Copies of this chain bind each other. A is one copy, B any other.
Amino acid sequence: MTLACAVAAMALATTPPTVPAGPPEAARILAEALRGGSYPVLAELTDGVGARLAGSAGAEEAVRWSADWFRRHAIPVRLEPVMVTRWTRGEERAEVVGGTGGRPQPLAVTALGMSAPTPPGGVVAEVIEVRSLDELADLGPRVKGRIVLFQHDMKVAADYGRFSGLRIRGPAAAARLGAVAALVRSLSTATLRTPHTGTTSFPPGVAAIPAGALAVEDAELVHRLLGRGPVRVRLILGGSLADPPLVPSANVVAEIRGDGKPDEVVVIGAHLDAWDLGTGAIDDGAGVAMVLETMRIVAAMPRPPRRTLRAVLFMNEENGAEGAVAYHEGALSAGTLHVAAMEADAGAGRATGVEVTAGPGAKEIVGAMAAPLASLGASRVGGNGGGVDISPLAWAGVPLLSLAQDTSRYFDWHHGAADTLDKVDPAELAQATAAFAWMAWALADSPATLPRLAVPEREPWWKRPSR
């Protein structure tokens, strides 16, 4: 059955022709979510609040708006204080110096989060191009005084994992070798001369350098020009850390108290902050809308679930992940028993299944829970659940879940100016919300809980100096 059919069937019939398998609550939850309440919520966030990089006025407005949203729906809510990195974008401009006739060729550039500002007037230096951190290391002293350009070959969404290390760790590696700046070819699957930002990391002891993303077209132009001879680029990036760099903000935490086992907590989360170039519709307004709509639906059920369902809207997933760490540490000191955590941070595309990272046998249990999602084409279970914001809970053994979604166009828009509401198909968002809401209910209400995760032996990522 297509989604359109499912919506029509559920809207028209009191007993739909295909009743989802599983508990009686499934039909109601899926039908409610498929009515499409998620999209207007998302529109309030993107069109009303807009850009909301952590530490900005927009992010604080998002905190107020979402806390108000819970209050309007009579769902108890609190703000969990978090100190977040405040980095602000400034002027950004780049050009190839002295092309034919001595005129510059402009380059489309945007600063990466945590970039240092260039000095007044910018930096001008020769570009040296690499395709990997190993290749950079091999260049050794030749990097000194240069602008390092990280090239890659990203074509499809699945390539993001292969190449995102160039953006995250490349600029610091270049800084260690004495580069004056770093440029990264945008990590994207479509381009109209549109640079894509994202965070980069300068570990303690490595002084930040100016670091930006070039549009794919401009990275290719510089590559072609390097084929003819040396290329000098003037780079002006005004982005900088605030002074002081940490400012107060908050996670927004709302709860529907369980009836029976209220001390067992299921967390559903998304991140409230978003990169500043767009309005964060797919990253991660869609996830926020899925979480809010899930809470609205569950709060309106005839009875609460057995366990406590807790929504967490994390602050600053994008440029520091302090909200994730603060939530984890707060929950640890409160002695909270999390039985599962599920994050929505993969856009607004159609759900195709459920991913779970937990102890042995978890996939079978999740498979049984997800049976009602067969009517949405979303009952397939995979073993890759999680998300940045809930990942610290792995060190407490908490089973981590997320939806598998269609991300084929996600990186066309991700971290760029084009991450705006029009990219979201209301029917796809409603379908994914239905899958998310049902799984939230099932995790909170099923007799069975998931086998806990073996605590990772590696050091928690937020305690690593190279983070």
Chain A residues with a Cβ under 8 A of chain B: 43, 47-51, 57-58, 61, 64-65, 99-101, 103, 105-106, 108, 190-194, 216-217, 220-221, 224-225, 278-279, 412-413, 416-418, 420-422
A278 cross-chain contacts in B, Cβ below 8 A: 193
Given contacts A47-B221, A100-B65, A224-B47, contact A192 B57 (CB under 8 A): no
Report whether A422 and B220 are in contact in the complex, using a CB–CB cutoff of 8 Å. Answer: yes
Report whether B61 and A418 are in contact in the complex, using a CB–CB cutoff of 8 Å. Answer: no
Report whether A420 and B217 are in contact in the complex, using a CB–CB cutoff of 8 Å. Answer: yes
A418 cross-chain contacts in B, Cβ below 8 A: 191-194, 217
User: Which residue of chain B lies nearest to A64 when distances are taken between CB atoms in the complex?
Assistant: B101
Question: Can you list 9 A-B pairs with a CB-CB distance of less than 8 A?
Answer: A47-B224, A49-B99, A50-B105, A192-B412, A192-B417, A193-B417, A193-B418, A194-B418, A221-B421
Given contacts A47-B225, A418-B217, contact A57 B103 (CB under 8 A): yes
Report whether B191 and A101 are in contact in the complex, using a CB–CB cutoff of 8 Å. Answer: no
Report whether A99 and B48 are in contact in the complex, using a CB–CB cutoff of 8 Å. Answer: yes
Cross-chain contact of A224 among B43, B100, B216 (Cβ < 8 A): B43
Cross-chain contact of A193 among B47, B50, B58, B416 (Cβ < 8 A): B416
CA distance A224 to B65 in the complex (A): 19
Report whether A100 and B194 are in contact in the complex, using a CB–CB cutoff of 8 Å. Answer: no
Given contacts A193-B278, A193-B418, A418-B192, contact A58 B221 (CB under 8 A): no
Report whether A100 and B61 are in contact in the complex, using a CB–CB cutoff of 8 Å. Answer: yes
A421 cross-chain contacts in B, Cβ below 8 A: 220-221, 224
Given contacts A193-B417, A194-B192, contact A103 B221 (CB under 8 A): no
Q: How far is the CB of A454 from chain B (nearest CB, A)?
A: 43
Q: How far is the CB of A402 from chain B (nearest CB, A)?
A: 26
Report whether A57 and B101 are in contact in the complex, using a CB–CB cutoff of 8 Å. Answer: yes
Given contacts A217-B422, A421-B221, A422-B217, contact A100 B49 (CB under 8 A): yes
A225 cross-chain contacts in B, Cβ below 8 A: 47
10 additional A-B residue pairs with CB within 8 Å, beyond A47-B99, A50-B100, A221-B420: A48-B99, A48-B100, A49-B100, A191-B418, A192-B413, A194-B194, A194-B418, A216-B422, A217-B418, A220-B422
Q: How far is the CB of A238 from chain B (nearest CB, A)?
A: 15
Q: How far is the CB of A429 from chain B (nearest CB, A)?
A: 16
Report whether A416 and B101 are in contact in the complex, using a CB–CB cutoff of 8 Å. Answer: no
Report whether A50 and B103 are in contact in the complex, using a CB–CB cutoff of 8 Å. Answer: yes
A413 cross-chain contacts in B, Cβ below 8 A: 192
Report whether A103 and B61 are in contact in the complex, using a CB–CB cutoff of 8 Å. Answer: yes
CA distance A383 to B191 in the complex (A): 35
A48 cross-chain contacts in B, Cβ below 8 A: 99-100
In the A-B complex, list the 5 residue pairs whose CB atoms are closest, starting with the nearest: A192-B418, A193-B417, A48-B100, A193-B418, A61-B101
CA distance A86 to B437 in the complex (A): 59
Q: How far is the CB of A249 from chain B (nearest CB, A)?
A: 15
Most buried by B among A43, A105, A191: A105
A49 cross-chain contacts in B, Cβ below 8 A: 99-101
Q: How far is the CB of A195 from chain B (nearest CB, A)?
A: 10
User: Which residue of chain B lies nearest to A412 when distances are taken between CB atoms in the complex?
Assistant: B192
Report whether A108 and B417 are in contact in the complex, using a CB–CB cutoff of 8 Å. Answer: yes
CA distance A464 to B303 in the complex (A): 75
A47 cross-chain contacts in B, Cβ below 8 A: 99, 105, 221, 224-225
Most buried by B among A220, A224, A422: A422
Report whether B99 and A50 are in contact in the complex, using a CB–CB cutoff of 8 Å. Answer: yes
CA distance A105 to B418 in the complex (A): 14
Most buried by B among A58, A191, A193, A221: A193
A220 cross-chain contacts in B, Cβ below 8 A: 421-422
Q: How far is the CB of A252 from chain B (nearest CB, A)?
A: 16
A100 cross-chain contacts in B, Cβ below 8 A: 48-50, 61, 65
Q: How far is the CB of A230 from chain B (nearest CB, A)?
A: 15
CA distance A412 to B103 in the complex (A): 27
User: Which residue of chain B lies nearest to A278 when distances are taken between CB atoms in the complex?
Assistant: B193
A422 cross-chain contacts in B, Cβ below 8 A: 216-217, 220
Q: How far is the CB of A371 from chain B (nearest CB, A)?
A: 38
A57 cross-chain contacts in B, Cβ below 8 A: 101, 103
Q: How far is the CB of A415 from chain B (nearest CB, A)?
A: 12
Q: How far is the CB of A232 from chain B (nearest CB, A)?
A: 15
